Structure formats: C-alpha cells, structure tokens
Amino acid sequence: MSESTIEKSFAVSRERYAEVGVDVERALSTLKSVSLSLHCWQGDDVIGFEPASGSLNSGGLQVTGQYPGRARTIEELRQDLAKAFSLIPGRHRLNLHAIYGDFGGKLVERDSLEPDHFRSWVAWAEEMKLKLDFNPTCFAHPFASSGWTLSHPEKKIRRFWIDHVKCCRRIAAFFGRELRTFCLHNIWIPDGSKDAPVDRWTPRARLKESLDEIFETEYSPTTIKDSLECKLFGLGSESYVVGSHELYLGYALTKRKMLCLDLGHFHPTESVADKLSAVLQFCPEILLHLSRPVRWDSDHVVILNDDLRSVAEEIVRGGALGKVHLATDFFDASINRVGAWIVGARATLKALLLALLQPLAKLIELEKNGDFFGRLALLEELKTLPAGAIWDYHCLSLDVPPGSEWLKEVALYEKSVLSRRQPDQD
C-alpha cells in the first residue's frame, strides 16, 4: 500500500465521516493521547527471571502452547518488547510483574525485593521513552502452592506475602519517582477454594487486615496508584474467591484505592462495559485488564470483538478516557508471542478509534427524541463506514506499518531472531 493510496483513501473516508457528523481529525488527536499499559508476561509465558522459577501453574493460571521463541532472558524480553512497541502506533507503558527483576542469576526472596533489582528496567524504559507499571507476584511460589496468600490461615505465610506486596509498592513508587509519572500498581491474589467452604468470613476478614497493613505506608498518588483486581472464579477456586468484586469494590471506595476489572474475571454473560458507568459514579479512576475469556478466564489474545468494542464505546461515550487506565492482560504460548502482543494492542486501539468515530451528539439526540429505530439504524450504518482507511492513516502518521504490513516485520523477526532460540529443555 503506497503512502499516496493511504492518503487518498483517508481523504475520501474523512468526507464520509463528516457527512454523518464525525470530526475525524479530532478522533485521531484523541487516539494519539491514549497510552496502553502493555503486559510483559506475554513474552515468556509468565515465567520471569527468578533463578529457580518453577511452574506457573499454581494459583489458577495456566499457559498453554509451546510455540518456539519464548524470551528466556531479560535481554531477549526487552528485544521482543522493543519489536512489539515499534509496531504499535502511539506512546505506551510497560507493565512488569515482580518476578521480572534483574536478579543477575541470584535468588532474591520475594519479601526482600528492592528497587535496585529493577533499576535496569528504569534505564531501559527511559531509553525507550516508556512509563512503567508494576504488580506483586502472589503465585508460582512454594508459599502460594496451597492457593492462599494474603488470606492464608498461617500467620507466617501471610507475613511473607504482606511483606512482598510492601516491597512491590516501594518499587512502584521508585518507578513513579524516577520516571516522573504515576506507576499503576495492581494487586491480584489467587486465594479461594475449589469446593464450597463453610467459613467464607474469616479469610475475607484476614484479607482486609492484610491490605490495611500493606497500605499503611502512604505514597503520593502522583507516584503510585494502587488497584485491587477481583475475580469471580478461577481454576481451583471455582466455589469461593476471597478477593471478590464486592470485597474490593467496598475496599476501593472506603480506602480510596482503584478497582481493577479484568474482562475475563466475571461470569461469561456479565458485561464489564456496563460496570463502568456504575463504578465511575463513585470511584474517580479505574484500571481495566483487557483479556479475552473463551468460556472461562482463558486469557486469549485480545481481538476486536463486541466485548472490547463495548468497553471502548462506554469509555468514549462517558468522556472517561482520563479516568480509565487500560492494561492488556493475556498470554498465549501457542502462537508467535510478539505477534500476540501487537494483535492485542492494535485491536484495543482500533476499538477506541471505532468508538471515537461515532457521531455521539447525533446518537444521543435520536435517543432523547425516542427515535429508537433511527438510533438502531445509524449504529448499523456506522459499522460499515471506512474506519480501516482512518486507521491506516493513523499508523502511517505515527511511523508504524499500516494495514497488515506489520506482519512482514513479525515474520522477519521470527526468522532472524525467535526461531534461533533453543527450545526449552523441560
């Protein structure tokens, strides 16, 4: 696709949108201001760099697939991330988990993590002009093998995880200070039980107590924004999850923390998009984890489906782009991992673009006048307007390959880099 073809298609498409009352330039300038938080863990199947890193498959997480090319070192992960970021239009953020420290092959217990273990990430982020976000890793560890962490019945184990999260908040605040921006710090724990417990009360009281201790240290909200990620069910926690939606919603509201809603953490028929206009009546900000559940919380790569489009529409229609932090969260080891990142990030940006290309004032007017047929028909017509030409122009103007041209780059990267990596021994 030549530049002039893209520009010509853009000019025609811009006219088509103008006819229905959409200002394309304005939509694009809004889209350019959006920063996604890209999760690092798609690159290495959530394994991280602890020397004796065990299996992830504790705490209800499961990565399936053995596609070659997994990043095995910090250098490989950075190289893959740089490739992915180069094919995603816009300026974005990188989301790290605590197991991704620069440990130099040494065993550092999770309750002894220091900002120093992440200093090289800050240097890399500065070089890449990225901001950093952070997460404690309360899984894939012998002390999490029972499936309980911050609400564990044993005080010693609770202590370990409380101290871990405290270390993580220090590191997040360090990121915020060093990079002169806030760092999104999100807590997810696997705690729950396979079968229906008799006592649902005590673990929730213990979790609340653990969180209270974790948040005793106050950091400026300009350096760290804490969030809590709820879940309805998980593998091994089908009947009871301690950190449920209600528990964290209550906690977030009363203790002024952010709520994190993950698209895969609710009942399959429940709409996360619908929650935004409810939760944001009370919470000033929210974190969204963009994932794609297929029948369960399967963490498939995000695509431009109705769920994602509805989320984007709700954010745009509510004028909430400044209140909703968007973070990707999926892991698929059965396909090219770098490509997976790009598909998910580009789909998210496309969903936002489509939402921004709707004539909101006109749709609201139809609704206000009770013209529900007109509303339905216009929404249907919008679906086939030439958004692709606008997207291509957006990519071109941000120096990123338009259309499917980025696939060539991924294929080349696979051939020259990923396919040369030795397969895992285990």
Contacting residues for 139 by C-beta, under 8 A, at least 6 apart: 56, 58, 59, 60, 61, 149, 189, 190
Task: Report the distance separating Cα 390 and Cα 132, nearest Å.
Answer: 29
Which residues, in sequence order, are CB contacts of 68 under 8 Å at separation 6+? 418, 419, 421, 423
Catalytic annotation, pick one of 141, 185, 231, 325 = 231
Q: Which of residues 50 and 297 has its CB atom nearest to Mn ion in the complex?
A: 297
Which residue do the tokens 């309750």 mark? 111
Active-site pick, 44, 226, 329, 414: 329
Judged by CB under 5 A, does residue 329 bind Mn ion? yes
Q: Kindly state the smallest distance separating residue 329's Cβ from Mn ion, in Å.
A: 4
End-to-end, the C-alpha distance of the chain in Å comes to 44
**Kind and range of the H or E element at 262?**
strand 258-262
* 325 lies in the binding site for Mn ion (CB under 5 A): no
Task: Point out the catalytic residue in the list 229, 285, 307, 332.
Answer: 229
Return the residues of window 274-293 that contact Mn ion according to CB under 5 A: 289
Residue 289 CB, shortest distance to Mn ion, in Å, is 4
- Say how many residues touch Mn ion, by CB under 5 A: 3
User: Which residue type sits at 45?
Assistant: D
Residue 392 a catalytic site member? no
In the residue annotation, 289 being an active-site residue is answered as yes
| From 39, 164, 265, 350, active-site residue | 265
Site string for Mn ion, 248-267 (x = CB under 5 A): --------------x-----
332 binds Mn ion (CB under 5 A): no
Q: Is 329 a catalytic residue?
A: yes
Stretch of 27-35, 217-225, 322-330, 364-372 lying at the interface with Mn ion (CB under 5 A): 322-330
**Region for 94 from its dihedrals, namely left if φ exceeds 0, alpha if ψ lies in -120 to 50, beta otherwise:** beta
What distance in Å separates the CA atoms of residue 168 and residue 134, rounded to the nearest whole number? Answer: 8
Nearer to Mn ion by Cβ, of 162 and 230: the residue is 230
Q: Which is nearer to Mn ion, 10 or 331 (CB)?
A: 331
Catalytic status, residue 92: no
Selected catalytic residue, list 80, 191, 297, 314 = 297
Q: Which stretch binds Mn ion (CB under 5 A): 66-74, 130-138, 150-158, 328-336?
A: 328-336
Alpha carbon of residue 414 to chain centroid? 24
Q: How far is CA 343 from CA 108, 146, 348, in A?
A: 34, 35, 9
394 catalytic? Reply is no
Instruction: Point out which residues pair with 193 in neighbouring strands.
Output: 240
Residue ranges in contact with Mn ion by CB under 5 A? 262, 289, 329
Q: Which residues are catalytic?
A: 188, 229, 231, 262, 265, 289, 297, 299, 329
